[in-house]
Each structure stands twice: as structure tokens, then as C-alpha cells.
């Protein structure tokens, strides 16, 4: 289904955006949704817009968790927030030079290809500058939802900012 407002897919960052950021979390029991996350994701789905997740998981490269543990956490996210049509995970470290690790556009491009939607019909929502940069580098719309971990310069540089996840989604749905 094509949305009438110019967005066919919303890609959310996982940790710090959809769920509380627990560094290098491989334990599904420690997954807790961010305030308003279920409501925000449901609002998008209710409009017939596909939802996906793009997430850096450098703990895999660092040997701090396994890809299986990441997948178990992702399954828990879906239990709490409902199904996502695309999951794109970068298991690489900061200095691995991979094209998928945000702020590079690879995760957004992969989701675009998986879903068959051009990137200019995608919105990326995240809580730090690398989420926004990845979306913009892929020619997608990008919205920042600041948290305590978001640096001031990231907020200042973001083309769009929402005070919380439901408000960011509201920008998409307008």
C-alpha cells in the first residue's frame, strides 16, 4: 500500500529509540520499550506504512554478545511492539570500515532493497546523529528524537527533531 503523504516505510533505530538502551544487551529479559514506542509504531502501522528496524550492534564484533543473542533481543522487541517488516543489523565495530554501520547508509539501503521501496519514500527515526546521518546519506527523510545521550550538536544539526517518539511519528503522518 502506498501512503499518500510521501512515506511508505518508517525505519526505527532500536536501542535508545524503540527500547531503553542497555549497552551491549544480549538478554531479552532486559528489553523495555521507550515511552510511547508501542503507540508510535501502531500509529504508523495503522496508516498502512511498513515499519522496520536499523540497528548497529558492535558488541558482536567486540565479542561481548553473539548474533544469536541480538536476534533473541530482536524477537523480544517484536513481542513487545509487534512485527517489523524489515530488520537490518550491523554486527561490525566502529573501525571495521563496513558500509552498513550507521552513519553509513548501508542499513537503510538494505531495508530499501528488502522492502522494494525507494529511499526517498523512507523515513528514519533515531536518537543520535549517526541515525540521522545514515538516513540522509541514503536520501531518506530523517527525524531525531533526542534522549539524555543525544549531544547538543546532534540536535542542532538535525533537519527535523521530535520531542518524543509519538511526536516524531506525527511529523511523518502529517
- The fold adopted by the segment(s) 9-173 is Rossmann fold (3.40.50)
DSSP 8-state secondary structure symbol assigned to residue 15: B
- Of the candidates 105, 88, 117, the one whose C-alpha atom is nearest the C-alpha of residue 3 is 117
Q: What is the pLDDT of residue 3?
A: 36
The CA-based dihedral angle spanning residues 149, 153, 155, 156, taken in that order and rounded to the nearest 10 degrees? 170
Query: Hey, which residues are catalytic here?
Result: 13, 15
Q: What is the pLDDT of residue 6?
A: 84
Q: What is the pLDDT of residue 27?
A: 98
User: Domain segments of the chain: what residues?
Assistant: 9-173
Crossing angle for the helix pair 37-46 and 67-81, nearest 10 degrees? 70
DSSP 8-state secondary structure symbol assigned to residue 8: S
Q: What is the pLDDT of residue 1?
A: 35
Residues of the chain predicted below pLDDT 50 = 1-5
Pairwise CA distance, residues 44 & 65, whole Å: 31
Amino acid at each position: 500500500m502506498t501512503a499518500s503523504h510521501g512515506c511508505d516505510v518508517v525505519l526505527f533505530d532500536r536501542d535508545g529509540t524503540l527500547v531503553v538502551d542497555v549497552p551491549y544487551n544480549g538478554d531479552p529479559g532486559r528489553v523495555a520499550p521507550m515511552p510511547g514506542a508501542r503507540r508510535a509504531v501502531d500509529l504508523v502501522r495503522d496508516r498502512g506504512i511498513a515499519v522496520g528496524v536499523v540497528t548497529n550492534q558492535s558488541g558482536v564484533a567486540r565479542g561481548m554478545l553473539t548474533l544469536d543473542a541480538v536476534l533473541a533481543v530482536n524477537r523480544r522487541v517484536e513481542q513487545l511492539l509487534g512485527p517489523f517488516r524489515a530488520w537490518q543489523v550491523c554486527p561490525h565495530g566502529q573501525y571495521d570500515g563496513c558500509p552498513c554501520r550507521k552513519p553509513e547508509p548501508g542499513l537503510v539501503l538494505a531495508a530499501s532493497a528488502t522492502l522494494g521501496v525507494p529511499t526517498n519514500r523512507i523515513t528514519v527515526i533515531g536518537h543520535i546523529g549517526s541515525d540521522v546521518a545514515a538516513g540522509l546519506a541514503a536520501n531518506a527523510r530523517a527525524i531525531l528524537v533526542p534522549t539524555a545521550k543525544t549531544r547538543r550538536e546532534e540536535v542542532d544539526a538535525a533537519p527535523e527533531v521530535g520531542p518524543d517518539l509519538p511526536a516524531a511519528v506525527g511529523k511523518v503522518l502529517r
